[in-house]
Amino acid sequence: MADLSEPEGTVNWKERCLTLESQLMKFRLQASKIRELLAEKVGRMIRILSLYEWLFEEESSSLSVRGLRLQLLGFFSGGRKKKFTDTTQISNSPFIDESSGSEEEESSQSSSRTSESDSRGRSGPGSPRAMKRGVSLSSVTSDSDYAIPPDAYSVDTDYSEPEQKLPKTSSSSSDNGKNEPLEKSGYLLKMSGKVKTWKRRWFVLKGGELLYYKSPSDVIRKPQGQIELNASSHIERGDGKQTIQLTTEKRTYYLTADSPNILEEWIKVLQNVLKIQAASPLFIQPEIKPTMKGLLTKVKHGYSKRVWCTLVGKTLYYFRNQEDKFPLGQIKLFEAKVEEVDRSCDSDEDYEASGRSLLSTHYTVVIHPKDQGPTYLLIGSKHEKDTWLYHLTVAAGSTSVNVGSEFEQLICKLLNVEGDTTSQIWRHPTLCHSKEGITCPLTTLPSEALQTEAIKLFKTCQLFINAAVDSPAIDYHVSLAQSALQICLTHPELQNEICCQLIKQTRRRHPQNQTGPIQGLQLLALCIGLFLPQHPFLWLLKLHLKKNADSRTEFGKYAIYCQRCVERTQQNGDREARPSRMEILSTLLRNPYHHSLPFSIPVHFMNGIYQVVGFDASTTVDEFLNTLNQDTGMRKPAQSGFALFSDDPSGKDIEHCLQGNIKICDIISKWEQASKEQHPGKCEGTRTVRLTYKNRLYFSVQVHGETDREKLLLVYQTNDQIVNGLFPVNKELAMELSALLAQVEIGDFERPFSTPAGQVTSQSKSNQTLKQVLERFYPKRYRLGCSEEQLRQLCQRLSTRWMALRGHSAADCVRIYLTVARKWSFFGAKLFAAKPLTTSSLEKSFIWFAVHEDGISILDYSTMRLTVTYTYKSLMTFGGYQDDFMLVVNDAQTKDKATEKLLFAMTKPKILEITLLIASYINNFHQQKGAAHHLSAPALLTPQSGQKLKEMGSQPLLTNNRPTKCPTLL
């Protein structure tokens, strides 16, 4: 039997390796003990020097000691992470232990530092000199920690702690385990989409996005891919112990870690990110309006960082910069203690001596959440500090009356008594109507310029209220209202101010004797139709309106209307544009209380009629169309394919498709402003927007559900295409279709009377009617250049065909018309004229683009015969390219050249129109199929859009193509 024992000498080598390994462990332990001993000695020396610096008053010796201490720190910092004390611990309160964690502590994810939570002894109040130097007594007496004074580094710089590249595992600072990591990086195996193989990639989770690269050295380059995480994403464990399934809106990803422990780390971090996104209103409601926002310096546990802060509700979010969508962290303000830090004992020399930029001009606000350590906010100006302090105090639920302006303090007092109507606070002069102007704003504002603007705003409100509303002064009121509200839209900080001013000016000290001025409530109605104030001003507004609501008086009716406006604005959000002239006149001249929809505008149809539709200040296009569809008996736009269009304020023959989430009042206002800019001084106030409702997207599967009104409008829209040469019909067919439309609109053709006198009169009327029908329904190209005799023959032919339809109902004629028109394979498509610019098989002077539900077809310009069709699946990129329209297609049928770039000359409005139309068809297809991959048309041809379209092009979009045979109507 063969000897299976190990070769000679193998055991000796194993023993030697074990011996070396044990010796190495001993050396490591010895080095660790030496390092700890060195750390203890250096820490003691630093504390002794700090105490020495505190005891001696001479600045020169203090500076020399400080220099020595900083040298020791610099020598020792290479081997141990620094733990800083808060730079703003300069208050007269004792320095307590800072080691308690908080959920809202910032996730310093980009640097892999871990904040060690050493136990620090509590101490009583220190001397003012010790607090002045920023040295806590706990750092003096503790044997296991040391501190860096506030003058040793700058908090104005963005990062006092060193920024490092993302290591393999990057997490947030952990305070007693309460803080959760939000960032991480490391290798994972990712299953590729097309070929099911595992590929090793370096993943980086940062800012709510999961990026992956080929290797860690590629993080400075563009990532190979990006996985967007949001509240709808979720994680599931895969079949294996080391595999997870990450499902997003776009697709499902399969990721495998090197070990179960690493997988658990990734799952924890990803769940933390998704949990914040799901809980944060910033992600659930992106349109939410923050109470306050600005760039501040945040200091906690000695770490300072310049962050962009946003106060939403009762939570303060902070970001790396203003553009970031994913917060570094959040601070829960409910029941938190918010106060200003008294720094009157500071001296400029303390901060200027080290050449740093933390001067006494910085104001400090401390937030101390319940059962958590404090967070300090350093603010650059007194105005900003006052504003932040007030709003943070309100968000914390405090009823303190020591912050804010006099007006705001009175509101706090009213909150304390729950708005008791019998309280004498209501009669305070600051809360009541004033004939004189104000000397200071009613609310805290973050700058002196805004304070000055607030005082001017009050004067504007007084002028609006005091000037009588009559014919000569009506334009004056329009101008005052538009200018005041435009300022508030430009500077959102003034929105609380104007609401408070109007509440004040519509209150009397003795309401039982007289009511406030009605014009004040009219301006308030215009104001809250645009935006609402923040809490507690919104509470005050609702209480004020409730007290004055009375259907028996004009003032009370306007108060009830204002209550409706508040509800609608809360439902649909703020507006974007100031009120239009129409909106202001309707509010001033007719009491909107009597109208559930106080404004109205005509909507025109392709058959020449119009429908007047009512709306209010917050009505969106979708809501407007719901009302229109109910009145006219049509289906929803998603089924009918109809859309609302506006004309161009320039007067050119250009139409703009209106998006569903835009508000009708904003459309009218923006159109009005653009018209004034393009036509200054001409017909001011008389021109208004023209809205048209017609088919934009045509789907063959929706034909069976068409209503009679939809069929009728489709007939007239098809006729418009025929008249303008966008539909292929010969002369005979055109004459038959014209006769059908004449029967639909006019009815049976009346023959001339038999009496000679009456026959002449009736003959002339009949000829005039026939000419009008030809002009409206017969193609222009067949009428141009016709002589009188030829026109007479056309009229004769038309009368013959028209009389043949006698007795047919309008519904029958519409059915016949659509049956004939739908024989053309591109019925319902939108045609665009273009000139090819690339050298290819399409070397024509002009061609037709036909955009339809299955793709884009190129038709011959003269015959309208099909040349080629590109399905949406084959589209790689499309949209405006410099001054031209570009199509990048991947034609699988072409073996020589798979990808082809096509350029076409078109006008810019048409380029935008065709681009949006193509994107709408693609989006609609995915919506119908239940996919969540949406194209944003305005973002086409951006660096990311090419990849999106490429991914879209790899999916099987179509199961059937349009027929390629020639048009059957010719």
pLDDT of residue 510: 61
Structure tokens at 734: 């055109």
Would you place residue 515 in the very low, low, confident or very high pLDDT band (cuts 50, 70, 90)? low
Identify the weakest region by mean pLDDT among 185-199, 211-225, 338-352, 481-495: 338-352
Summarised one tens digit per residue, pLDDT across range 406-417 is 998 899 888 888
Phi, then psi, of 946 in degrees rounded to 5: -60, -40
Predicted confidence (pLDDT) per residue in 127-174, tens digit: 333 333 333 333 333 333 333 333 333 333 333 333 333 333 333 333
pLDDT at position 228 is: 77
**H-run or E-run covering 895:** none
DSSP three-state, residue 741: helix
pLDDT given at position 652: 85
pTM exceeds 0.85 for this model: no
Split at pLDDT 50, 70, 90, the class of 86 is: very low
Percent of all residues in the chain with a pLDDT value above 90, rounded to a whole number: 26
What does the angle CA 644 – CA 647 – CA 651 come to, to the nearest 5 degrees?
175
Tell which wins on pLDDT, 96 or 370. 370
Q: Average pLDDT in the 346-367 region?
A: 55
Contact indicator for 333, 314 with CB cutoff of 8 Å: yes
> Using CA atoms, how far apart are residues 733 and 439, in angstroms rounded to an integer?
78
Question: Which pLDDT does position 281 carry in this prediction?
Answer: 60
Average pLDDT over residues 733-742: 92
* 23-37, 426-440, 650-664: segment of lowest average pLDDT: 23-37
pLDDT digits over 555-609, tens only? 889 999 999 999 999 999 899 999 999 999 999 888 888 888 899 999 999 988 9
**CB 822 within 8 Å of CB 762:** no
pLDDT at 240: 64
Give the pLDDT confidence score for residue 562 in this predicted structure: 93
| Residue bearing the bigger pLDDT, 821 or 65 | 821
Task: Indicate the residue type of 581.
Answer: R
Residue 843 has pLDDT above 50, yes or no: yes
DSSP SS3 for 941? coil
Residues sharing a CB contact under 8 Å with residue 964, sequence separation 6 or more, in sequence order? 866, 869
> Which residue type is seen at 560?
I
pLDDT tens, residue by residue, 739-761: 999 999 888 887 665 545 555 56
Give 67's pLDDT tier (boundaries 50, 70, 90).
low
Helix or strand holding residue 967 (H, E) = none
Q: How much of the chain, in percent, has pLDDT values that exceed 70?
A: 71
Taking 90 as the threshold, does the pLDDT of residue 737 lie above it?
yes
> Is residue 457 predicted with pLDDT exceeding 90?
yes
Range ranked top by mean pLDDT from 25-29, 58-62, 249-253, 610-614? 610-614
For residue 224, the model assigns a pLDDT of 84
Q: Which of 338, 319, 321 lies closest to 329, judged by CA?
A: 319
Closest by Cα among 182, 217, 220 to 104 = 182
Whether omega before 472 lies within 30 degrees of 0, making that bond cis, reads no
Question: CA 561 to CA 581: how far, in whole Å?
Answer: 19
Q: How far is CA 249 from the centre of its chain?
A: 18
Q: How many Cα atoms occupy the beta-carbon half-sphere of 449 within 13 Å?
A: 2
- pLDDT surpassing 60 at residue 194: yes
Could you identify the residue written with the tokens 């009356």? 401
Instruction: Pull the structure tokens for residue 335.
Output: 């029941």
Would you state the pLDDT for residue 830? 93
Please tell me the predicted confidence (pLDDT) of residue 239: 66
What is the arrangement of strands in the sheet containing 329-332, beginning at the earlier edge strand? 329-332, 315-319, 303-312, 292-300, 375-379, 363-368, 337-340
Under the banding of pLDDT at 50, 70 and 90, the label for residue 961 is: very low
Say how far apart CA 316 and CA 313 lie, in whole Å.
8
Most confident of 180-194, 224-238, 628-642: 628-642
Q: What is the DSSP code string of 524-590? A: HHHHHTT--PPTTHHHHHHHHHHHH--TTSHHHHHHHHHHHHHHHHHHH---SSPPPHHHHHHHHHS
Q: What is the pLDDT of residue 666?
A: 94
Position 528 pLDDT exceeds 50: yes
Burial of residue 340 (number of CB atoms within 10 Å: 0-12, 13-18, 19+): middle
Residues 6 or more apart from 319 whose CB is under 8 A from it?
307, 308, 309, 310, 325, 326, 327, 328
Q: What is the mean pLDDT of residues 269-296?
A: 73
Count Cβ atoms below 10 Å from residue 960 Cβ, excluding itself: 6
Q: What is the pLDDT of residue 359?
A: 47
464, pLDDT greater than 50: yes
pLDDT mean across residues, the chain: 75
Q: What is the mean pLDDT of residues 189-205?
A: 81
Radius of gyration of the chain (CA): 37
What's the one-letter identity of residue 180?
A: E
In whole angstroms, give the CA distance from residue 214 to residue 201: 5
What number is the average pLDDT over the span 531-548? Answer: 91
Amino acid in position 221: R
pLDDT of residue 360: 52
Instruction: Categorize the per-residue pLDDT at 917 as very low, low, confident or very high, splitting at 50, 70 and 90.
Output: very high
Query: What single-letter amino acid sits at 720?
Result: D
Give the DSSP letter string of 201-216.
EEEEEETTEEEEESSG
Q: Which residues pair with 308 in a beta bridge?
A: 295, 319
Q: Copy the structure tokens of residue 296.
A: 């501040």
Q: How confident is the model at residue 940 (pLDDT cuts 50, 70, 90)?
A: very low
Q: At what angle do helices 448-466 and 518-528 cross, to 10 degrees?
A: 130
**pLDDT, tens digit (0-9, with 9 covering 90-100), for 678-700:** 877 655 566 789 999 999 999 98
pLDDT band at 217 (very low <50, low <70, confident <90, very high): confident
Please count the CA atoms within 13 angstroms of the CA of 388 that sit on its side-chain side: 26
Q: Which residue has the tokens 């949209």?
A: 879
